[in-house]
């Protein structure tokens, strides 16, 4: 190979290597939850909008409260992931819309962000269960030599048998 040909090939190879290195540093962005199309759920009007108009304007909520079905949540979260690291939350929006039980009108609209969240101390302890914990090898070897129980004649007087 001539020196000129090597230098011509070196420039595209260097550009390709630089592009690969820069693309490795760019984050992977994921948008999860409610996708705002026309209007933000936070624009719901207290006392004017009803359950039906909220569903028509904003769509089905992301979640409905477990203890009070008259509280709807619209949740949106944007995550950035760099390489093999854990995802980093760039933005979180939670809009809680409460409805009056009697009139089905909006009673309150609350907007929360990531700053309003609380860190929950997770307890990793487990409650032990009764019985023997078998390993995979014990389960596999335990079936070797096992035979099916012989079939007995159906006796309608036996307990636990269907007639």
**Mean pLDDT, the chain cut into blocks of 10 residues (163 residues total):** 59 67 72 77 87 89 88 88 83 89 91 74 67 78 70 57 54
pLDDT at residue 16, as a whole number: 73
Architecture of the domain defined by 38-76+91-119: 2-Layer Sandwich (3.30)
- pLDDT confidence of residue 106: 92
In sign, the C-alpha dihedral spanning 147, 151, 156, 157 is negative
In whole angstroms, what is the distance from residue 49 CA to residue 97 CA? 11
User: What pLDDT score does 98 carry?
Assistant: 93
What is the distance in angstroms between the CA of the first residue and the CA of the last residue of the chain?
90
Q: For residue 144, count CB atoms less than 10 angstroms from its CB and return exposed for 0-12, middle for 13-18, buried for 19 or more.
A: exposed
So what's the pLDDT on residue 97?
A: 92
Q: Where are the domains of the chain?
A: 38-76+91-119
The model scores a pTM over 0.85: no
Please name the helix (run of DSSP H) or strand (run of DSSP E) that holds residue 94, with its range, or none.
strand 88-99
């Amino acid at each position: 190979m001539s020196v000129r040909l090597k230098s011509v090939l070196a420039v595209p190879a260097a550009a390709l290597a630089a592009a690969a290195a820069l693309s490795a540093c760019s984050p992977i962005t994921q948008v999860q939850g409610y996708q705002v199309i026309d209007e933000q759920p936070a624009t719901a009007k207290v006392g004017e909008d009803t359950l039906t108009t909220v569903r028509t304007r904003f769509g089905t909520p992301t979640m409905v409260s477990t203890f009070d079905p008259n509280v709807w949540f619209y949740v949106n979260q944007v995550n950035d992931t760099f390489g093999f690291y854990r995802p980093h939350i760039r933005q979180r929006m939670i809009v809680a819309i409460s409805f009056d039980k009697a009139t089905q009108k909006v009673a309150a609209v609350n907007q929360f962000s990531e700053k309003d969240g609380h860190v929950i101390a997770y307890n990793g302890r487990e409650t032990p269960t009764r019985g023997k914990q078998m390993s995979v090898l014990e389960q596999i070897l335990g079936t070797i030599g096992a035979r099916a129980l012989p079939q007995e004649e159906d006796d309608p007087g036996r307990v636990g048998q269907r007639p």
